[in-house]
A and B are shown apart, each in its own frame.
Chain A
């Protein structure tokens, strides 16, 4: 009797589990976002962009609800990023100095998934692929296929056990590679509250210089966009002073949660001929337009059509 009852309970529970998975396939994206934020891990991944590959060592620890991340460039000029919550600092070595700069935030692999996935549901279709192996771990392939022509394809290999993204490929509609990141080595660690690793490598032969951040000034919007592709939202706006004139330059960043582009609005000075048209630099699209005394320039690893539509639709 009890055995029959347990069997019924187990069958019911497994049915609920299956139906949850089927009802909400997007949960895998939310889980991947949370895994990158909440897990303690250390590893090395390769990043390929514009046919160049670089190795990066990453350590991420959640300590007393604060996130600590350290990323170190393993090839080329030495460089590091240390991030504690919203405090992000980068260290970059040149021949004589180590330059230090503050940054506002970061969306670096493996923490590439947005916290709010509702927007992604509107503009991408989610497909599940086969099970693959990355960094000696079993991974579920998922593909985000754009519903329109304004964004690229995103392929993720998500760790079966923890949901941490282990690999990412961004490709265009012709299946050409835009960028790729993949762990080659990954360990889940327990630091027991030890944060001694969270400090930059110090090179005593060089001088450390804090680079003054460009002063971000209050943004006074005098522009509007007549039409922008669905799903893209303004995520940041900055104004900075130009040398020689008091008129300000502006940078607006738009994103759909995965794709990013910047629109620069800069006053044209005497003697400078404004640029028009577009150019492709590696996988980065740049579109230019002259409008009412300002040079409009859009930059981003997005399809050409997206770059053009942002550039054309601004007015003031």
Chain B
């Protein structure tokens, strides 16, 4: 069955049999998954993969580009506001940013040196090690597995 699916995917099915083949294949639910997998793999290999647009991410990205005050230093994330045609949106985003910074400031605090704790092996998250080796490893094993260890 997967061979037929593969032929259909590669446009190798004869035109007159196309409708019949699609009916046959779509009658089995498992084929839907296989079809989706083929599409994902093809799009990635052709570098065309795009996920569903995520509006939250886009809004948060806009907020991240707004000036943010960290530890007494102002970070001006955009060099020229005047050049930007979306500046009205940016002003609105700034209000949102200040609101969120206000909330986050409640969870961010200055700590005295006396409150620090000696580092032990358990404090070092797998994530931080994986993020390092995902960028720098000379070892294909580390490189392929990095960032995947915590998933299912």
Residues on A lying within 8 angstroms of B by beta carbon are 47, 49, 54, 56, 58, 71, 73, 76-77, 79-82, 87, 89-92, 94-97, 99-104, 106-109, 112, 168, 179, 181, 199-200, 202, 204, 207-212, 215, 217-218, 220, 222, 236, 241, 244-248, 251, 253, 255, 260-262, 264, 267-271, 273-279, 281, 284, 286-288, 290, 292-294, 297, 299-300, 316
Given contacts A100-B44, A276-B116, A277-B119, contact A246 B148 (CB under 8 A): no
Smallest distance from the beta carbon of A86 to chain B beta carbons, Å?
10
B4 interface residue (CB < 8 Å to A): no
A262 x B136 contact (CB < 8 A): yes
Chain B residues whose CB sits within 8 angstroms of the CB of A202 once the complex forms: 37-38, 41
- From A94, A109, A210, B148 is in contact (CB under 8 Å) with A94
B8 interface residue (CB < 8 Å to A): no
A179 x B138 contact (CB < 8 A): yes
The total of chain B residues at the interface (CB under 8 A) is 66
A297 x B128 contact (CB < 8 A): yes
Given contacts A246-B64, A251-B131, contact A92 B145 (CB under 8 A): yes
Question: Which residue in chain A gives the minimum CB-CB distance to B122?
Answer: A279
B91 interface residue (CB < 8 Å to A): no
In the assembled complex, the Cα of A102 lies from the Cα of B143 at a distance in Å of 11
Residues on B lying within 8 angstroms of A by beta carbon are 2, 33-34, 36-38, 40-41, 44-45, 47, 49, 51, 57, 60-61, 63-65, 68, 70-71, 73, 75-77, 97, 100-101, 104, 106-111, 113, 115-121, 123-124, 128-129, 131-132, 134-145, 147-148, 151-152
Instruction: Please name 14 further chain A to chain B contacts, defined as beta carbons within 8 Å, in addition to the given A56-B140, A181-B139, A212-B51, sorted by A numbering.
Output: A49-B139, A73-B140, A79-B141, A94-B148, A100-B41, A107-B138, A181-B138, A218-B64, A218-B77, A253-B132, A274-B116, A275-B123, A281-B129, A297-B124
- From A245, A251, A284, B107 is in contact (CB under 8 Å) with A245
Question: Which residue in chain A gives the minimum CB-CB distance to B101?
Answer: A246
20 pairs, CB–CB < 8 Å, chain A vs chain B: A49-B139, A54-B139, A56-B141, A79-B148, A90-B143, A91-B144, A94-B148, A95-B152, A103-B134, A199-B45, A215-B57, A222-B70, A246-B68, A264-B131, A270-B109, A275-B117, A277-B118, A286-B119, A293-B108, A300-B136
A281 x B124 contact (CB < 8 A): yes
B64 x A47 contact (CB < 8 A): no
In the assembled complex, the Cα of A202 lies from the Cα of B34 at a distance in Å of 10
In the assembled complex, the Cα of A267 lies from the Cα of B101 at a distance in Å of 13
Chain B residues whose CB sits within 8 angstroms of the CB of A207 once the complex forms: 33, 36-37
Smallest distance from the beta carbon of B69 to chain A beta carbons, Å?
10
Residue of B64, B111, B136 contacting most chain A CB atoms (<10 Å): B136
Given contacts A202-B37, A218-B65, contact A89 B108 (CB under 8 A): no
A208 x B70 contact (CB < 8 A): no
Chain B residues whose CB sits within 8 angstroms of the CB of A262 once the complex forms: 131-132, 135-136
Question: Which residue in chain B gives the minimum CB-CB distance to A276?
Answer: B116
Chain B residues whose CB sits within 8 angstroms of the CB of A97 once the complex forms: 151-152
Given contacts A109-B139, A241-B60, A269-B107, contact A92 B121 (CB under 8 A): no
A208 x B37 contact (CB < 8 A): yes
Smallest distance from the beta carbon of A262 to chain B beta carbons, Å?
4
Given contacts A217-B64, A246-B63, contact A253 B135 (CB under 8 A): yes
Question: Which residue in chain A gives the minimum CB-CB distance to B142?
Answer: A49
A245 x B117 contact (CB < 8 A): no
Smallest distance from the beta carbon of A103 to chain B beta carbons, Å?
7
Smallest distance from the beta carbon of B56 to chain A beta carbons, Å?
11
Smallest distance from the beta carbon of A233 to chain B beta carbons, Å?
13
